[in-house]
Homo-oligomer: A and B are copies of this chain.
Amino acid sequence: MERISKANLEDIARATGVSKMTVSRVLRGASGFSEETRLRVTTEAARVAYVPNRLAAAFGSDAASTLVGVCVPRLTSGLFGHVLDGIDRALSRLGYQTMIGSHNHSIEQEEAWVRAVVSWRPAGVILSGRNHTGGTVDLLRNAGMPVVEIWDLTTSPIDMAVGFSHFDCGVEMGRFLIRKGRRRAGFIGASNRADVMGLARLEGFSSAFARAGHALQDHEILHDSPGFYAGYYGLETLLARSPTLDVVYFHNDEMAIGGLAYAQAQGISVPGKLGIVGWGGMEAASVLPRRLTTTVVPTTAIGKAAAEGLVARLKGEHCEDVVAIATRLVPGETG
């Protein structure tokens, strides 16, 4: 009974009187064996509780890895949680395992993670964003495996890209607010300057206002995690400096809700005196007493598309290099 689970192909082969290779073929569901052999082998495999050794399989044949590396900025973000969920569901349905990491908006940490994950010889890699170190790009190009860059769309991906343009999100929100009559806009970001995607939204937003002849009045980027607190205190800081703002664009919905809480605590009328708009489309944003004006990002769909694109490439099927996933500006009652 002891270490019964340590059985390998050879043990099963001996017990059933066939060769190791035949057992391998049966258990992989390949072809080249009779129904009778299949039955004998699977029965014996079940009896000894055979656990395949993917390490040996992936090592032995360079093409057989079922491992996919995924790196996101933060595991604690509600949005990326849904992206990971979309990826993980799609990949595990297709028989792949995911190796997940986070880099906290540091491309150096991302390179370290890529180095670690490539040493496992994965079938492919999914990264977030379009900004990577030269070392990361070299490593991935040399490894010659499919790479999908998600979240921020680029027209010249390392290999493939699935996502949307953060700059365009900012532009769209800016134009929307100008149409609504807003003129003195501010922005509150967080997660420090390393979050280039948040900054891209700021740039798009700013350029939309500038083009309309109303330059961005002020912005505040906090060195804090982009949550409710940062939104609350960020708005306090920004309004202390620029009390005449008539609308504030927040880095994300969590922060916007924090800002909303501050405005409410101060008796500032929203959207009357001050508009508050977010980004991301977290669930809370649409059920709060006042529905937040925000941009909804189809997170799960992005994850799913990235995973399916990667697998399509692995199987040699055709698949677009760049897949744009549309975001949707949802007007609420706060902007």
Contacts and interface: CB of A to CB of B under 8 A. Distances in A.
Interface of A: 3-6, 49, 51-56, 58-59, 65, 74-78, 81-82, 84-85, 88, 92, 97-102, 113, 115-121, 138-139, 142-144, 227-229, 232, 254, 257-258, 261, 264-265, 283-284, 287-289
B49 A142 contact: yes
A200 to B, nearest CB: 24
Contacts of A287: 228-229, 232, 258, 261
A94 to B, nearest CB: 12
Contacts of A264: 289
18 contacts: A5-B138, A5-B139, A5-B142, A6-B142, A49-B139, A51-B115, A51-B142, A54-B121, A55-B65, A75-B82, A81-B81, A92-B113, A99-B100, A100-B100, A228-B283, A229-B287, A232-B287, A257-B288
Given A54-B119, A55-B58, A98-B100, 9 more contacts: A4-B142, A6-B142, A51-B143, A76-B82, A92-B116, A100-B100, A227-B283, A261-B288, A264-B289
Q: Which of A97, A257, A261 has the most CB of B within 10 A?
A: A97
A225 B188 CA distance: 30
Nearest to A289: B264
Interchain residue pairs A-B with the least CB separation, the first 10 = A5-B142, A76-B81, A55-B59, A75-B85, A100-B100, A54-B119, A228-B284, A228-B287, A75-B84, A59-B59
Given A49-B138, A59-B55, A257-B284, A85 B81 contact: no
A121 B81 CA distance: 26
A115 B258 CA distance: 43
Contacts of A261: 287-289
Interface of A is mostly: helix
B102 A99 contact: no
Contact of A99 (B84, B99, B139, B258): B99
A258 to B, nearest CB: 6
B143 A120 contact: no
Contacts of A254: 283-284
Nearest to A83: B75
Q: Which of A74, A75, A102, A288 has the most CB of B within 10 A?
A: A75
Nearest to A98: B100
B59 A85 contact: no
Contact of A52 (B54, B65, B119): B119
Contacts of A102: 85, 88
A140 to B, nearest CB: 10
A121 B53 contact: yes
Contacts of A65: 55
